[in-house]
């Protein structure tokens, strides 16, 4: 299966890191006073290999698919919402559509396996593997061949898009369950710690959801390796995002990770190629139960903490201006020398 995805080498840019840190420290401010924005500027500079990084033609990729497991009542919404929301994305009416317009993000929606046939139009890529995954309670959500194809589809989608930044988004009724299953299996946490309300389940429905997911984990007890777990639990949109993340990382694009489901795709990708995480910026801490634990496992520092749990890439789009600001500050903010500003005096012995 390794031939299905590119290798992602470590950045190994210690000299550039020193130069970037020296440049940040020399700006007209107390050292470290811009906090996380300084760390963000350093990270972007390292990813793009530049002391004056510029973000060009950012691409927001929303991968959509249906889940066979949804027949077990694991979501507060019916399965038809997946295709209806794809239509909403393409018509410009969804939250992510509004935010993409506001921030100048190029939005592409991929039909990875939606139970609906879409009319061709700009902004839509049809890479449908099947009309939804199989019921993971009865067998694997995907065959290994389907999983492999989804990885290739994600990589090919990224190759078809310009720019040096990729923002991740997704849509699929039931996909918080797939993300919870992947998290539980790959991190080794109890499924109850990984499972939340998703689209808005009440407390009793969450307990039923946990019961179903526990049965799925037992059904696929042998699926321990990252790609085996991905095939067992799904979904097509998550697997496509895994391929997209691996390709974007290999091309040294800045990868802006949205919420819980997008983070699950990065979890799988980083289990395959650990250096993926060097290229990732985590947009926010989701309100979905389990995301805090997943971020801790990934050693990720989210930019925002707003209680978001919409998905779609909405959190990534909301965080995007912070990346632009970090780059602008690194490029344009004056140094003490250029501005004729006195530096901080050394502390007395």
Residues labelled as active-site residues: 312
Cβ–Cβ < 8 Å for 280, 267: no
Distances (CA, A) of 344 to 4, 24, 26, 157, 339: 53, 15, 11, 49, 14
Q: What is the CA radius of gyration of the chain?
A: 21
Four-point Cα dihedral 141, 145, 151, 156, nearest 10? -130
Residue with tokens 């909403």: 88
Task: Say if residues 247 and 158 touch (Cβ distance below 8 Å).
Answer: yes
- Cα separation, 281 vs 167, in Å, equals 9
Asked if omega into 235 is within 30° of 0 (cis), the reply is: yes
């Amino acid at each position: 299966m390794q031939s299905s995805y590119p290798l992602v080498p470590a950045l190994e840019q210690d000299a550039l890191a020193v130069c970037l840190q020296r440049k940040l420290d020399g700006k007209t401010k107390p050292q470290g006073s811009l906090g996380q924005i300084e760390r963000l500027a350093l990270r972007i500079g390292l990813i793009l290999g530049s002391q004056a990084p510029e973000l060009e033609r950012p691409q927001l990729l929303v991968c959509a698919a249906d889940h066979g497991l949804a027949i077990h009542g694991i979501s507060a919404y019916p399965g038809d919402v997946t295709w209806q929301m794809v239509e909403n994305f393409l018509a410009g009416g969804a939250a992510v559509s509004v935010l993409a317009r506001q921030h100048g993000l190029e939005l592409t929606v991929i039909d990875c396996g939606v139970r609906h046939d879409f009319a061709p139009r700009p902004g839509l890529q049809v890479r449908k593997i099947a009309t939804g995954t199989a019921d993971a309670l009865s067998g694997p959500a995907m065959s290994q061949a389907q999983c492999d194809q989804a990885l290739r589809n994600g990589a090919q989608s990224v190759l078809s898009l310009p720019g040096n930044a990729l923002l991740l988004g997704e849509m699929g009724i039931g996909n918080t369950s797939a993300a919870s299953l992947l998290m539980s299996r790959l991190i080794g946490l109890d499924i109850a710690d990984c499972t939340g309300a998703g689209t808005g389940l009440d407390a009793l429905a969450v307990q039923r959801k946990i019961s179903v997911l526990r049965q799925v984990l037992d059904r696929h007890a042998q699926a321990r390796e990252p790609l085996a777990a991905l095939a067992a639990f799904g979904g097509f949109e998550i697997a496509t995002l895994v391929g997209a993340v691996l390709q974007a990382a290999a091309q040294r694009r800045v990868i802006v990770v949205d919420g819980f489901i997008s983070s699950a795709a990065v979890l799988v990708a980083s289990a395959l190629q650990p250096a993926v995480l060097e290229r990732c910026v985590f947009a926010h801490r989701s309100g979905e139960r389990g995301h805090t634990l997943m971020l801790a496992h990934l050693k990720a520092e989210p930019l925002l903490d707003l209680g978001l749990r919409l998905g779609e890439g909405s959190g990534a789009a909301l965080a995007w201006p912070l990346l632009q600001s970090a780059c602008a500050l690194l490029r344009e903010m004056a140094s003490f020398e250029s501005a004729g500003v006195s530096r901080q005096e050394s502390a007395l012995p």
